[in-house]
Amino acid sequence: MQRTKKKRSFAYVMLFYAVIFICILVIGLIMLWRFIEAYEKTRASTAMQAYMEDFSEERVYYLVYDFLGTFDNNIQSREEIFDGYVRPYLRDVKYSKNAAESTETKVVYNLLSNQRSFGKVTLEQNEEEEIGFRFWDVTDEEMDFSFIREDNSASVTVPETFTVKCNGYTLGGQYVTGSVKNYGSLEYLSGYGFEFPSMLTYSVDNYLGDVEFRVFDENGTEYPIDSNFENIIINNIMNTCTQEETDRLTKFLNEYCTYYVGFMGSHRDLIYTNYGKLKPYLLPGSDLANRMNSALEGMVWSNNKANELQSVDVHYCIKLKDGEYLCDITYYVNTLGNNGYVVTENNARIFVSWLDSGLYAKEMMSY
């Protein structure tokens, strides 16, 4: 009986020690878990992971808002630049520690996308502690998308009465970079009494990608900007002839060219006859009339094959001043050669004087 009691007492003691050991073990595990948890919670990388979980396009837009405003937002809004040139870098963002800028109390991470760094996040330890470990806070964010900037510029030159739009925005005087009266190949007209409107050059820069210009006259008519832009200006802005004037000038030009080609390319036996047909179309005393008269002697000995006019294209007629007109034409000549007729194309500008007695060619310039 006594022996049985001793065995029970021993069992109770062992059970007590076991309970004590288990309690100590549990407490130790709890403390270890809290230690590990506190360590993980207070690591800089943990804080950075939490930052990336909240990383959003809205946040980036807020951070780069001022940068987007450094572009010309009249022709490209902040939203357009962000959507087209910033957002693509926010689709697969990674980060890496910047060891060169990091210290024991500060850690810097670079934000990366497509192997390009576009931002920095700085974390610093705060005063909050857990089991001797201090937590990290994001203390600074930098977004640098300066690499998207392009050295772009574009310009268009139009008459001063025109309206210019770029990407839908009407350009004002601040975009005018020059005022000239240079109409290229037509500049010579300024010496013949035609008053040109000023040509204004509108220039834009500080934008990304491409821009689209659209130009309109004072009546709202849009003009395409292409290689024929100068001719369009001539036809629609400088062409001040009435339909009646244009029709009569066209008729005169066809007749004049017929006799001019007939004279310049006639057989030597018909020189004087053809000159007689041309002469009524020449303004007496003009340089053109004098040149045609001087050409008679040489042509008598030169031509032995006849030319004839095929057709005339009248490109435009400009009223320079009362009774003075400039006509731009292309005339096609059939020249008889050894193998038959060959068609040649000729461009000319003809000054026409409109007098009470009729129309006369005053000057002719080939080009």
What's the CA gap between 102 and 123, in Å, rounded? Answer: 9
Instruction: Identify the three-state secondary structure at position 357.
Output: coil
pLDDT-derived band at 72, boundaries 50, 70, 90: very high
DSSP string, 138-200: EEEEEE--GGG----EEEEEEETT-EEEETTEEP-GGGEEEEE---GGGGGGGGGT--PPPEE
User: Would the pLDDT of 281 be above 80?
Assistant: yes
Residue 166: the pLDDT is 96
User: Would the pLDDT of 184 be above 90?
Assistant: no
Q: Could you report the per-residue pLDDT of 317-354, keeping only the tens digit for each?
A: 888 777 888 898 999 998 877 777 788 899 999 999 99
Q: What is the mean pLDDT of residues 256-274?
A: 81
Q: Could you report the per-residue pLDDT of 189-229, keeping only the tens digit for each?
A: 666 655 666 778 899 999 999 999 999 988 898 888 875 66
**Is it true that domain 243-366 has CATH number 3.40.50.720?**
no
Between 74 and 227, residue with greater pLDDT: 74
Q: Could you report the per-residue pLDDT of 295-324, keeping only the tens digit for each?
A: 876 665 555 566 788 999 998 888 877 788
Domain with CATH 3.10.450.540 in the chain: 243-366
User: For the chain, give me the number of helices (H) and strands (E)?
Assistant: 9, 15
Between 75 and 264, residue with greater pLDDT: 75
Residue 236: the pLDDT is 62
Residue 47: the pLDDT is 82
Q: What is the mean pLDDT of residues 27-40?
A: 59
Between 210 and 47, residue with greater pLDDT: 210
What's the CA gap between 328 and 350, in Å, rounded? Answer: 7
User: Would the pLDDT of 277 be above 80?
Assistant: yes
Q: What is the mean pLDDT of residues 228-236?
A: 63
Residue 235: the pLDDT is 62
User: Would the pLDDT of 83 be above 90?
Assistant: yes
Residue 112: the pLDDT is 94
Mean pLDDT score of the chain, rounded to an integer? 83
**% of the chain at pLDDT higher than 70:** 77
Q: What is the mean pLDDT of residues 253-259?
A: 94
Q: Measure Cα distances from 321 to 177, 189, 326, 328, 353 in Å.
A: 31, 11, 10, 16, 10
Q: Measure Cα distances from 323 to 311, 319, 328, 354, 367 in Å.
A: 26, 8, 17, 5, 24
Residue 317: the pLDDT is 86
